């Protein structure tokens, strides 16, 4: 079984993204708004998946 992505709900997406970027050692990140859900998300791309 392969995990495609993991979603984590947070109060401040920008600040949380910085923490995860540093912890995971990557700058490969993008932000997008999911209008249908009314949320802004950060997608951190890793070698074998996304957070």
Find the DSSP H helices in 1-51. Answer: 13-24
Spans in the chain with pLDDT lower than 70: none
- The DSSP symbol for 8 reads -
For every residue of 21-38, DSSP letters joined together read: HHHHT---EEEEEETTTT
Q: pLDDT tens digits, residue range 31-45?
A: 999 999 999 999 999
* pLDDT at residue 7 in the model: 86
Residue 22: the pLDDT is 93
* Residue carrying the six token digits 């700058």: 27
- Is 20 exposed, middle or buried (CB count within 10 Å of its CB: 0-12, 13-18, 19+)? middle
Q: Which two tokens stand for residue 20?
A: 């995860």
Q: What is the pLDDT of residue 32?
A: 95
Q: pLDDT at position 49, please?
A: 81
- The CA distance from 5 to 10, in Å, is 16
pTM value?
Answer: 0.72
């Amino acid at each position: 079984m392969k995990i495609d992505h993991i979603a984590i709900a947070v109060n401040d997406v920008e600040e949380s993204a910085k923490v995860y970027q540093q912890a995971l050692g990557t700058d490969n990140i993008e932000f997008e708004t999911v209008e249908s859900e009314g949320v802004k998300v950060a997608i951190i791309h890793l070698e074998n998946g996304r957070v």
